[in-house]
Structure 1
Amino acid sequence: MSGSAAGNVLEEQIDQWRGFVSRRPAISPSDVEEMEDHLREQIADLESGGLDGEEAFLVAVKRMGSLDAVSREFAREHSRRLWKQLVLVPDAEDEPGPSRWRGLGVMLAFALAAGVAVKLLTGAVDDEMAIARNLPFAVLPFLAGWFAWKHRAPWRVCAVTAVLATVPVLAVNLYPFDMTPGPYPMPGMTAVLAMTHAPVLLWLLAGVLHTGGRWRSHERRMDYVRFTGELVMYLALITLGSLVLLGLTIAVLSLVGVYLDAFLGDWLLPFGMPGALLVSAWLVEAKKSVVENIAPVLTRVFTPLALLMLVADLVAMLVNGPLTTVDRELLIIMDAVLVLVLFLLLYSISARDPLVPPGVFDWLQLALVGAALAVNAVALTAMLSRIAEFGFTANKTAALGLNLVLLVHLVWSAWLLWGFVRRSRPFAEVERWQTAYLPVYAVWAAVVVLLFPPVFAFV
């Protein structure tokens, strides 16, 4: 390996180490810089002794000790600072750049603007289907705008992202989709596919702004994966808590003859739903270092449960008779299960310490991917059998394409995980593959939204 290539590999390893250390709650940015300087000094000393860059990096990191131990040591030495980090809004001098109060104000402004957009949409459109179709488009632009402000995305990146996001929005609203006849007309399958895939495409495009325009950065893309998982957790907690409080309030007020039905429909829901999303996103960004302590626990709880679920699903599909008789709804549910498993895989990898050697949980992760591959293979066989017997339709083709995309992702993930648990590959390769493959999902979602409707005659 040439000197420049070896230097690039070393800088990449140091960048990954720095990104992981910086997410520790007890370690400030200045501490990270001090630790990085010490790490580089150790590497230089080891290289002068004859080690190559990669060997010197591994030895230097080992000498510095476990990151968990380092974090605990910093917590003991800087307990006052750690407690201040757990406060909702710390002092401005503790946070570089815009103060947390200013960030809170900007987030609330975007949340209010999203609520106004939803209110205008529901007030101007009488068609419930049109409202459902456009609801994500009324909220996600404001979340993306907050991403752009928070992460200082360049205006050129914002402009290009906005133009790209406009294309699926126009397609979903302007394509001449057929409606099923009857007293209650419903959209055809191509319309349903476009409606369900367009928000996925917009979410992945919003990730470009979350990276601050540095969408080629592996670390930035993995941060967005981590952000998405933590956002789901916060949003679920806020939603459940709000439902409990709202239910108690309605019960109490109804006893005295005060009913909130009109207020709920006209004001609370239009402003509450986007507000909960924006507040959850702000909390994730504000407390990301604290939430990360929860992430490894959640992945270790749900990974074995997901493995058991996949094995049960696989047995159910195999004993259900010939694959040609497998129910279509069952195949749809299996696809949803595979997507859920993929999300768990991504979140587990994003929460793992990349410098820790392989252990029992990594073997469990490999078993989960293997079970997912088995379910995917059975589902693919059933889909191909149904297509051979009944022909291609929009939903069958979409399901087949999604399973093929998942198959490639899972096969290479299994291969890389196998190499990692056998200590022949670094974990960085496993992690990098996840983020490198994300654009494939964006491309597939764009194909379903933009090409499927005309190919299948908008039926």
Structure 2
Amino acid sequence: MDVQTNNPIVANMANPHELESLFRREPDVFKRAFAYAWEQHPDSQVLAVWQERLFFKETSVRTQETALFQKGFLVMGILAILAGICTRILFYFIDQNTISPINLVFGVLPFMAAYFVYRNPSNKKVLYTLGAVFLLFAVYLNMLPLEYTDSIILVYLHLPVLLWVAVGLAFTGNEHGVGRVRLAYLKFNGEFGILYAIIAISGMLLTLLTMRLFTFAGMNISEFYFSNVVVFGAAALAIVAAYLVTKNLKLAKSIAPYIAKIFSPLVLATLAAYLITIVWVGKSPFLDRDFLLSFNGILLSVLAVTIFSITESGTDERKSMSDYINLALIVLALIIDTVALSAIVFRLSSYGITPNRLAVLGINLLIWANLIWIMRAYMPFLRGKMGPSAVQDAVTKYLPIYGLWAAIVTVVFPLVF
């Protein structure tokens, strides 16, 4: 259609019904035709109404959005710099062996939480809870002996999980009990991980190029560059990536669903082949401790992939092949978890209680219950008796339980063991 010489809007200026019909049939074509019609007839009251209808939001909100974007960008920049400086200071004390390396989480996560609080203001109860969690656990962590006993290592492994849940509280704010908002936090984590990895790979290429250039000049700057630029940049990048994801950057949001759809069947095929192989060769997690640990690593990976796939499926009521693959993954994960639980109980009864065995038993029980819940929610969804919200609730409502277990291991285990 030639909108310049044969403009349908000009031809139907006196026919409101036809104008509405043209707009509903082809909105994009209508807007292009309208631009030419408005140029030809700027005095038309009919076209003036359509001008406001089509572009009112763009003209009235643009200035406000620009101001908010600039302010948000400034806040992000300040928090990113503070995160980089704080992480560099912590790295210095870690290098001096005065504090444990896990302290690096306090160089990033509190600033990420601060950005979410700025973006989504919360009530005083949420703010006090966040402040107390980060402050008390920072003090508590550095009161523990700087040694690598089993109970201390468990603290180092579980504290980031606890703080991750705290960052989730900052993200969800006053709506921390709403499943939809919790699901958004899980989705944010997937997109954040993808974007961070993409930018980090670019940063690594820049690092290699920089070091190579200085090598040609006869200078070895690797230690200085890592201690100052890489450490600072890795921490600051976390805040920048969080900002970009929350600003609906299309790169991460476009890639994430495809990664979920590609990885789920690959993980399913790999896991099935692995289980068949270990049965064939006769490997047993009951007697081999390292094999039991690898079993649990596989279990956590499958759980992560399944949750990532569920969060990326959105609220689509229609079933897809990904949903059946997710269910198969859950069933296989349940088989792995059941075998792992049996092996852990066997080792507890045979060799006694240790912090590691008790911690692994606890997390396996939690995962087993979570997988059962997700599976029971998936079956009615696949039969068309229930929407996807039940599956998503099975994921989101369980998150605080993982945080509670991480808190128990972090606080109680060093005191008991």
- TM-score interval, smaller chain: 0.7 to 0.9
Q: Distance in 1 between matches of 2:201 and 2:310?
A: 27
Q: What does residue 80 of structure 2 align with?
A: 111
Question: What residue number does 2:22 align with?
Answer: none
For residue 308 of structure 1, the aligned residue among 269, 273, 287 is 269
Partner residue in 1 for 2:43? none
Distance 1:390 1:106 in 2: 54
CA displacement at 1:191 relative to structure 2? 0.7
CA distance in 1, matches of 2:161, 2:110: 13
CA distance in 1, matches of 2:71, 2:239: 15
Could you tell me whether the CA contact under 8 Å between 2:192 and 2:242 is conserved in 1? yes
The within-5 A match list for 1:19-168 is 93=62, 96=65, 99-124=68-93, 126-128=95-97, 130-168=99-137
**Aligned partners of 1:138, 1:439: CA distance in 2, in Å?**
23
| Matched position secondary structure for 1:175 | coil
Question: In 2, are the aligned partners of 1:376 and 1:407 still within 8 Å (CA)?
Answer: yes
Q: Aligned residue for 2:138?
A: 169
| Structure-1 separation of matches of 2:378 and 2:30 | 37
Asked whether 1:421 is paired with 2:382, we answer: yes
Structure 2 counterpart of 1:412, from 365, 368, 373: 373
- Hey, what's the Cα distance between the residues in 2 that align with 1:274 and 1:327? 38
Separation in structure 1 between the aligned mates of residue 30 and residue 195 of structure 2, nearest angstrom: 30
1:78 positional shift: 7.6
Equivalent position amino acid for 1:246 in 2: T
Contact 1:320 1:326 in 2 (8 A): no
Contact 1:201 1:446 in 2 (8 A): yes
Match of 1:188 in 2: 149
1:36 corresponding residue in structure 2:
none
Which protein shows a greater Rg?
Answer: 2
Question: Which of 154, 171, 181 is equivalent to 1:220?
Answer: 181
Distance 1:348 1:327, change over 3 A: same
Distance 1:76 1:155 in 2: 50
Q: Which residue of 2 aligns with 1:298?
A: 259
Give distance in 2, aligned partners of 1:97 and 1:432. Answer: 36
With 289-298 and 384-393 compared, the bigger mean Cα shift is at 289-298
Asked if the contact 1:383–1:400 (Cα under 8 Å) also holds between the matched residues in 2, the reply is yes
Q: How many Å separate the matches in 2 of 1:453 and 1:157?
A: 28
Name the amino acid aligned to 1:122.
Answer: F
Corresponding letter in the other structure for 2:76: M
Report the TM-score when normalising by structure 1: 0.74
The residue number in structure 1 matching 2:203 is 242
| C-alpha distance in structure 2 between counterparts of 1:320 and 1:94, whole Å | 67
Q: Does structure 2 retain, via aligned residues, the 8 Å contact 1:133–1:195?
A: yes
**Residues 193-245 of structure 1: per-residue CA shift (max 9 Å, x gap):** 10111011001111111113320111111110000111110111111111112
**Is the deviation greater in 291-300 or in 376-385?**
291-300
AA aligned opposite 1:123: Y
Note if contact 1:323-1:381 (Cα within 8 Å) is conserved in structure 2. no
Query: 1:122 and 1:427 mapped to 2: Cα distance?
Result: 44
Name which of 407, 411, 414 aligns with 1:446: 407
- The alignment-based identity, stated in percent, is 29
Could you tell me the TM-score, scaled by structure 2's length?
0.81
- In the alignment, the residues of structure 2 paired with residue 322 and residue 289 of structure 1 have an alpha-carbon distance, to the nearest angstrom, of 45
* Inter-CA distance 94–339: structure 2 relative to 1 (3 Å threshold): farther
In structure 1, C-alpha distance between the alignment counterparts of 2:156 and 2:96, rounded to whole Å: 15
Q: Please report how far the alpha carbon of residue 317 of structure 1 lies from its aligned counterpart in structure 2 after TM superposition.
A: 4.1
Specify the SS of the correspondent of 1:451.
helix
Cα deviation, 1:287-321, whole Å, max 9, x if unaligned, reads 25553332221111000011122223323443454
Is the aligned partner of 1:253 residue 2:222? no
Question: For each residue in 1:93-145, what CA deviation from the matched residue of structure 2 results, as whole angstroms up to 9, or x when unmatched?
Answer: 17649522221221110011111112222334554472412111222111111
Which runs of no fewer than 5 residues in structure 2 stay unpaired?
1-25, 33-59
1:92 & 1:330 partners in 2: Cα distance? 58
Q: What's the counterpart of residue 281 of structure 1?
A: 242
The amino acid of 1:382's aligned partner reads A
**Are the counterparts in 2 of residues 172 and 191 from structure 1 also a CA contact under 8 Å?**
no
Distance 2:297 2:28 in 1: 41
Alignment size in residue pairs:
366
User: In 2, Cα distance between the equivalents of 1:362 and 1:122?
Assistant: 44
Preserved CA contact (<8 Å) 2:150 2:355: yes
Matches within 5 A, 1:193-204: 193-204=154-165
> Is 1:402 equivalent to 2:370 in the alignment?
no
Q: Is the contact between residue 110 and residue 146 of structure 1 (CA under 8 Å) also seen in structure 2? A: yes
